[in-house]
Amino acid sequence: MSPSSSSPSLLHLAVALDGTGWHPASWREPEARPRDVLTAGYWADLVAEAERGLLDFVTIEDGLGPQSSHFLDPDERTDQVRGRLDAVLIASRIAPLTRHIGLVPTAVVTHTEPFHLSKAVATLDYVSTGRAGLRVQITARPNEAAHFGRRTIPRIEAYDSPESQELVTDLFDEAADYVEAVRRLWDSWEDDAEIRDAATGRFIDRDKLHYIDFEGKHFSVKGPSITPRPPQGQPLVTALGHQTVPYRLIARQADVGYITPHDTDQARAIVAEIRAEQETAGRSDELLHVFGDLVVFLDDDQAAAAARRDRLDTLAGEPYQSDARVFTGTPSQLADLLGEFQAAGLTGFRLRPAVLGHDLPAITRGLVPELQRRGAFRTAYEADTLRGLLGLDRPANRYAASA
Partner 1 sequence: MSKPQKQIHLAAHFPGVNNTTVWSDPEAGSHIEFSSFAHFAKTAERAKFDFLFLAEGLRLREQGGKIYDLDVVGRPDTFTVLAALAAVTEHLGLTGTINSTFNEPYEVARQFASLDHLSGGRSAWNVVTSWDAFTGENFRRGGFLPQEERYSRAKEFLATTLELFDSWHGDEILADQASGVFLRDAKAGSFVHTGQHFDIHGQFNVPRSPQGRPVVFQAGDSEEGREFAASSADAIFSRYATLKEGQAFYTDVKNRLAKYGRRHDQLLILPAASFALADTDAEAEELARIVRRQQVSGATALKHLEFVWNRDLSSYDPEGPLPDIEPDVSDDHISKGRAQVRMYRDPLATAREWRELAAANNWSIRDLVINTGNRQNFVGSPETIARTINAYVQADASDGFILVPHITPTGLDAFADKVVPLLQEQGVFRTEYEGPTLRHHLGLAHPDDVRDEQRVAS
Calculated CA dihedral for residues 39, 41, 44, 50, nearest 10 degrees: -100
Three-state secondary-structure class, residue 117:
helix
350 forms beta bridges with 14, 293
In contact, 58 and 101? CB cutoff 8 Å: yes
Of the pair 40, 167, the CB lying nearest partner 1 is at 40
Q: Which of 61, 69, 84, 191 binds partner 1 (CB under 8 A)?
A: 84
Residue type, 338: L
Minimum distance, C-beta of residue 268 to partner 1, in the bound complex (Å): 38
Compute the distance between CA of residue 380 and CA of residue 54 in angstroms, rounded to an integer: 7
Tell me the CA distances in angstroms from 10 to 7, 130, 393, one per residue in order: 9, 22, 17
- Should residue 220 be labelled a site residue for partner 1 when binding is judged by CB under 8 A? yes
**Residue from 46, 54, 81, 326 in contact with partner 1 (CB under 8 A):** 81
Q: Which of 11, 15, 17, 64 binds partner 1 (CB under 8 A)?
A: 64
Whose Cβ is closer to partner 1: residue 82's or residue 268's? 82
262 is a contact residue toward partner 1 (CB under 8 A): no
Whether the link from the prior residue into 30 is cis, omega within 30° of 0, is: no
69 sits near partner 1 (criterion: CB under 8 A): no
Mapping DSSP onto H, E and C, the string for 372-394 reads: HHCCCCCCCCCCCCHHHHCCCCC
The DSSP string of 222-273 is ----SSPPPTTSS-EEEEE-SSHHHHHHHHHH-SEEEE--SSHHHHHHHHHH
Among 15, 54, 58, 95, indicate the residue that binds partner 1 (CB under 8 A): 95
Q: Is 339 in the site for partner 1 (CB under 8 A)?
A: no
Which one of residues 147, 155, 262, 311 is an interface residue with partner 1 (CB under 8 A)? 147
Q: Does 400 bind partner 1 (CB under 8 A)?
A: no
Interface positions, 25-44, toward partner 1 (CB under 8 A): 25, 27-30, 32, 34-35, 38-40, 44
3-class secondary-structure state, position 17: strand
Residue pair 384/390 in contact (Cβ under 8 Å)? The answer is no
Spell out the residues 6+ positions from residue 145 whose beta carbon is closer than 8 angstroms to its own.
Answer: 110, 111, 139, 151, 152, 153
Q: Which of 2, 6, 83, 285 binds partner 1 (CB under 8 A)?
A: 83
Min CB(221)–partner 1 separation in Å: 6
Piece of 203-211, 245-253, 300-308, 331-339 that binds partner 1 (CB under 8 A): 203-211
The whole-angstrom separation of Cα 231 and Cα 233 is 5
Q: How far is the CB of 214 from partner 1 (least distance, A)?
A: 10
Sign of CA dihedral 105, 380, 331, 28: negative
Pick from 55, 88, 346, 386: which binds partner 1 (CB under 8 A)?
88
Does position 116 interact with partner 1 (CB under 8 A)? The reply is yes
Note whether 144 binds partner 1 by CB under 8 A: yes
Residue 123 vs 266, nearer CB to partner 1: 123
Question: Quick one: which of 202, 262, 311, 373 contacts partner 1 (CB under 8 A)?
Answer: 202
Rank residues 29 and 277 by Cβ distance to partner 1 and give the closer one.
29
Q: Does 77 participate in binding partner 1 (rule CB under 8 A)?
A: yes
Judged by CB under 8 A, the residue of 85, 245, 281, 383 near partner 1 is 85
